[in-house]
Structure 1
Amino acid sequence: MPGGPYLVPPYARPVRFSIRPRVWLPFVAVLTAVGCSSTDGAAKVSAPSPSAAEAGYCRALHAKLPDAVNGMKRRTTVPASDYTAAWGDPAIELRCGGPRPEILTPGNEHYNPSADAMELNGVSWLPERLPGGGVRATTTLRKAFVEVVIPSKYTGEAGDVSALTDFADAVRQAVPTGI
């Protein structure tokens, strides 16, 4: 038979295309990761691991947090957690139920029992200047530590922490005083 054993001409044969799993699996994995990792502008805030009692206070705080801080809308956080929240871009970040700040921990090299705290609308905060110029403020004298990080964009050189006033009502209502 001229042209070989084919019943149809070679150009009319169906072409079988096979990609081995080891070739296409990484491609599919990358596409899946890209498609599923869209955070839609979510802020990455690491979630603390509070004790059971602190977790209850933090969940109550989460439910009372304002929709806006310093005029900026609340954002979603990644990972989603009842112990974190964020506002604006760059984000003002809140974490509830974290460890005692080093500056308040006896035996720590950064311990400073005379560190200056400030009271804003009935909530005592311990502000600490961060290397990038922002401020981390942590509540004192509360049953759970509430930490707020304010980026330098909002604090300026003077260390403005006026954003903390927006948290006062929620902290007073949800996290009782006492250590």
Structure 2
Amino acid sequence: MPLPAHRLLPALLCATLLLGGCAGKPTEQQAGNPTQQPAQPIVSNAAEADLRSKANRGDLDSQFQLGSLYFVGQPAKDLKQAEHWWKLAADKGHAMAAVSLAYLYTGRDNPDFNNPEQMLKYLNQSAAGGNPMAQHILGNLYLRGTQGVALDPNQAKRLFESACRQNYTASCSALENMH
């Protein structure tokens, strides 16, 4: 049984964030197979209309989900729309919208969106809001001293510990590797 849209979108975003640039280029097999069937829509037109209505009324989860739909290409990939909806939700404290916006601002999907200052702003906001994925990503930045973040293994450890307490497995593994 397929996941409902409200659970599928966060899963897709998590996978996108964790894979980073790995999924950016099609393999030879994908590029050479023009007869592949198009992907099935994630949500119906009626469900999208309902989601848009809730998002326009200020529902943060709906704003996040609508931004996610635009990000993955339903109805059509539109990163400006994804940014718009995620920003509305993130600026009101939606932690997953903030981490999604942080990813968008890495510029991995489109270099026009590369904005390191905004990436760190939203990543920090999401991590401070308790999002374990954001804590893990930020912990890695502190561990490596990259992306405008100072090298600080102690801060990395604190972030990994917080994410691990929330059962974020990658952070638990990172902690084990630090010892």
* TM-score, normalised relative to structure 1: 0.21
